[in-house]
């Protein structure tokens, strides 16, 4: 049975993400499903700019949100969702949808586009980890605005956007190990 869904960032499915999922599975009792914006295709991008452009051309946040909603409502699974970057933002954008009332917990990392969906009130507990700073907006201001929501908790890290993805320019192995352990324990 699938217990956890991992929603990818703009890089989609990759060996780095599968390594992370393997670590999350631990013993085989925690089955994980990966939802990515590219229908499971492995795509090698030359850089983050190319990955972002491909993501936009593949439907962007709204298109990804529709895929996520469809996938997680099929069998009312999972109970826990872990999402990264655009995946966290897309999940946030649909998090007040009553079809997602079976979700017990969501953990989102550096969902910068959440700033465009601040009116959303998630119906399930949503813990968000933000980077130290973003170039396009004030992280502290966004954090202050959404922490007031009943089911939302936020943590500002000392790392940069992408710190959990080996493919990102901002990957940080120390942060990766720290937050991987937190995800395993939750």
User: Which tokens belong to 180?
Assistant: 């991987």
Ramachandran area for residue 26 (φ above 0: left; ψ -120 to 50: alpha; else beta): left
Structural domain of residue 166, as residue ranges?
A: 2-185
- Give the span between the Cα atoms of 112 and 26, in whole angstroms: 29
- Give the span between the Cα atoms of 62 and 72, in whole angstroms: 16
pLDDT at 79: 83
Element spanning 46, H or E? none
Q: What is the pLDDT of residues 125-149, one digit of tens each?
A: 999 999 999 999 999 999 999 999 9
User: Which tokens belong to 123?
Assistant: 């119906």
- Give me the helix-helix angle, 48-57 and 60-73, nearest 10°: 70
Write the CATH number for 43.
3.40.50.1820
> What average pLDDT score do residues 69-83 get?
86
93 pLDDT exceeds 70? yes
Domains identified in the chain, total number: 1
Mean of pLDDT over the chain: 93
Q: What is the pLDDT of residues 33-70, one digit of tens each?
A: 999 999 999 999 998 999 999 999 999 999 999 999 99
3-state helix, strand, coil in the chain (%, to 5): 40, 15, 45
pLDDT band at residue 14 under the 50/70/90 scheme: very high
Q: Name the pTM for this structure.
A: 0.95
User: Which tokens belong to 160?
Assistant: 């940069």
């Amino acid at each position: 049975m699938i217990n956890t869904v991992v929603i990818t960032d703009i890089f989609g499915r990759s060996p780095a993400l599968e390594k992370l999922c393997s670590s999350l599975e631990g013993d085989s009792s925690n089955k994980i499903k990966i939802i990515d914006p590219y229908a499971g295709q492995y795509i090698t991008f030359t850089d983050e700019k190319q990955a972002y452009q491909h993501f936009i051309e593949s439907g962007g946040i709204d298109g990804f949100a529709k895929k996520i909603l469809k996938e997680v409502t099929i069998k009312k699974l999972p109970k826990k969702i872990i999402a990264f970057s655009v995946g966290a933002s897309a999940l946030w954008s649909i998090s007040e949808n009553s079809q997602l009332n079976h979700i017990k917990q969501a953990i989102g990392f550096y969902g910068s586009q959440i700033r465009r969906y601040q009116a959303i009130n998630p119906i399930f507990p949503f813990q968000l980890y933000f980077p130290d700073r973003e170039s396009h907006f004030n992280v502290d201001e966004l954090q202050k605005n959404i922490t007031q929501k009943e089911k939302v908790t936020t943590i500002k890290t000392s790392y940069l956007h992408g710190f959990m993805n080996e493919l990102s320019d901002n990957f940080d192995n120390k942060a990766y190990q720290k937050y991987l352990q937190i995800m395993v324990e939750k």
